[in-house]
Structure 1
Amino acid sequence: MKLFYTYIVFFIFICEALFSQNIDRLKLQYQKTSDPDKKAHLLLKTGHILEKQNLDSALFYYKKVLPFEKKITDTLLAKVYSSIGNVNLLKGNIDVCLEYQLKALKLFERYPPQQDIVGVYNSIALVYFYQTDFDKALVKYNQLRALLNKNIVKNPKKAHYIQGKLLNNIGIIYDNKHQEDLALEYFGQASTHSKKAKDNENLSSVYSNMGIIYLKSKRYDLAEAIFIEALNLRKKENDIFGLCKSNYHLGRLYKAKNQFDKAQEYLLIGLKYAKQANSSSTRASIMEELSLVMAGKGNYRNAYDYHVAYKTLSDSLFNKENQQKITQAEMQYKFDKENQAAKIALDQKELVYTIIAIVLILVIIIVVIMYRLQETKAKIQQLAKESAQLSNKELSSREDILKRELEFKNKELTTNIMYLLKKNEFNTEISNRLMELKKQMKKTDQDVIQKIILDIKSAQDDDIWKEFEVRFSQVYNDFYERLNIKYPDLTLNEKRICAFLRLNMTTKEICALTRQSYNSLNVARARLRKKLNIQNEEINLVTFLENI
């Protein structure tokens, strides 16, 4: 167990080291280049990496591009403005976000539409939405829809993915504007696009939004069906936060229907998921609903307890937001201070010596590990080589035996076919002589001779084919089985022609065995190619049958 924890700590150290190396490499490239576009691109890339770790750090690098704004291309500058706006939106500075996104939009609109402008329109629309300026948000969303209709997003699945989220947002706006029918229309369109994009996360959100409208309009059966559909999708995706919301909505639905036991059941499940998702705001909403459900059941003691818990959590959330702002400021101060200390440390010789020592130690460790790996690899290769030699000997021996057996059976089959050919020729000759004799006989005797001729041919055919098929199956034991599985509609005569061709017999030999003319056999082969679905005339029928 201690060794396991050691590996975990080592892995985390390596990840942090790689992250730092990426940043340091970008900084080094930035110092080496003098091209403004390359400098701006490197700063933008650094900001994107840091955005997942620290928003303020990302913002710092994005803003370092601004002194070059007159020296870089408009498109690159627009990307910088958009990135600054996105970070401010995440930080809650929606006024600053709007300022920079409008700057980015102005630059993007000078050129033909491109995929990057999609994010700009979406951010601007979100700003207006958060400000409850729904009309302006709709204008931007509709502009974004018009751009998407021009196919600026080339990947169809990604286009459906964006359209699904966009139409869902438009539906939410119309719901907030109390235009429920129009909202449902957009939710329906959003569900179609999300299904095509296989975006179950957005599809479940769309269903939940539709269910909320049905719930408000007291269409409880529709609300229940759509809420359960959303719940099933979120179970499939293991979306913990989504499951929390779905159970909350179902609890509200059953509370509205005065089915307090079911409402309590779903709300308690939702509360469990809310704790798992660490969503304090949703927990507060669920506890408020549980308070009302308990009051509806007449359990006023529990109703009071849930109400107290709801109020306590709501108050703590307000205090938590303030605490987060203080913590963020402290972290920013600490981050700036550590950066300054690191810059000073980089100039000191002691750091250089430490790095050299670490590199030497790592080189020694790597050399030792490589030596051990090489040694182990050599042993494994030797064992594998010996094992392969033994296996090859056994396989070679078995292969020789099988080849001899197959060769013997092939010779036996060939001999048998030649015998059958001679026998068939002999019987044919007897039949021909009897036919000549028949012409010289009386009418009553001709009938007797004709019956003898027919009996000879019938007995000849049955005997020949039974003996041939026995011999053929001994050599190619599963040929008929595979042929019947793949092409069950073949007649008995067509299967026999397949067998002759599998033996690579000539047309003359097949005609002699089957007593068919050349023309009849060619017609039979053409019909066989059609049944085997061989449309390409260049495909050889014999080669095709060998590969079945």
Structure 2
Amino acid sequence: MIKERIVFLMLLMFGLQMHYSQDLPEKDKLNPVGTSFLGFKNRLKDAIRKQDTSNIIYNHILLADFYHDLGVTNEAVHHYNEALLFHSKVSDSTHVIILNNLGSINLEADQYAIAKSYLQKSLRLSRTIDFQKGEAVAYASLGAVYEKEGEYDQGLKCQNKSLRLFSALSDYEGLAVVYENIGSIYEDLQQYDKAYTYFKSAYEYFYRVNDDRKISILNNLGDVNRKKGDFEKAFFYTNKAKYEAEQTNNVHQLSSALKDLSKTSKLTGDHLKAFDYLNASIYKYKEEQKLRRIQQMNTLQIVYGVKEREAKIALLTKQNELNRANQRTVVFVIFLVIIIFVIVFFNYRKKKDQRFKIEQYKQQLLKADLDKKIAEEESLQREIQIKTSSLSKYSLHLAHKNKVLSDVSSTLIKLKDRERMFIKPKLEGLIAEIKADIEDEQGWVDFIKYFEQIHPDFFKKIHKVTSGNLSTAEMRLCMLLRLSLTSKEIASVLRITPDSIRIARYRLRKKLLLEKGSNLQNFMLDL
């Protein structure tokens, strides 16, 4: 009976939720709790995709109610908590409804401490926002918790507070639930007359709102009368409950009615009917459980299929994200490699261009240096040619001077004996001066100086290739040969005969250790 009342409370709270969800979109208010699971999931996904917080909360609540009706408590709690998470920063009627639903689910699961925690939070929040209906539901559920714990006084206090609130709101459905709860407490206290009175009031209010929960109240009325010993009334109410359950195809209430009829028949001594009612009750109970299991199995299969599909989609999404990340990484690496290649290529080109420019610059410098050296060499060659020419001219000049002086000297010698005696001393003096001029060594000093400027290493080379020391006359002969003078010209310069030149050349060849057939003048030119 307690569980039945809890189910009634849940349905009542859903009615409150539908009534007080003004903040939710109008189109979603039209969706009943029985809307298919896939519809709930699709709408929730759509709300999440659109980041529509109101619809996210609402569809979480619908899914939680859906799971709760099927007895899948853990999923129901999960979705209520998800709704609460999204709604944690807002204090309104929806927040109160979620807290009340969580309290009722924990009450069903015999988690009384947790149930009281949620319901007390709901009470505080309901008072804060002045939500009387939420407060009334919270008191009704909290009274049911105290009843389960055996604290009947506390339970009655809470139910009476809830009753006053529902009365002020003229809420017949709420009043019916609270009257039923109070009747249940008095039934537990074995105060059957009071229980009967409250159950009667509950029935009247459920009848007014045309709620099928009136069948449960009829069963409660029959149960109370049976416990009082008024079997006639007991049969009356229970048979009426049986009839209503058959008309509405309410298998659960039909099974309860048959079970109560079995108990009443047993007490009246009609054991055969009691047995038949009991068998019929068991049959209906099994039928109810079978239908419920089939419904749960079908729903859980759908849930499992959806979750499996979501898991596959999530896996594929992760794989796609990973693939995209890998692709981005590959593209980034390729791009980086290209950038590095381009940088390296341009650096290489730049360095190559720089090296080329440096080489060009070096070539230009080398060319300029070469041109400079060529110009210097040409200048030097011209200078050498000039000096050589000057030296040759100087040599010829010496030769010519010596010849003239020699001729003059010869002439004067011939004339000195033919002229008069008074000119003889003068002529002899003139001859002496001419001879002194011819034999003057200063001219040769100047000549050697010019020669060394043109051929600076000549004397060193001569000394290296000779077997002994060369005389001054031999050195002069070497210099004149290096200047390409003929033997006749050399004889004139040295004031000796050509035969003497030939003998001097022969002696020089011996000192130079020249082989037979070697040209002395060519040897001098090669030094």
Q: Report the TM-score, using the length of structure 2 for normalisation.
A: 0.49
User: Which structure is larger by alpha-carbon Rg, 1 or 2?
Assistant: 2
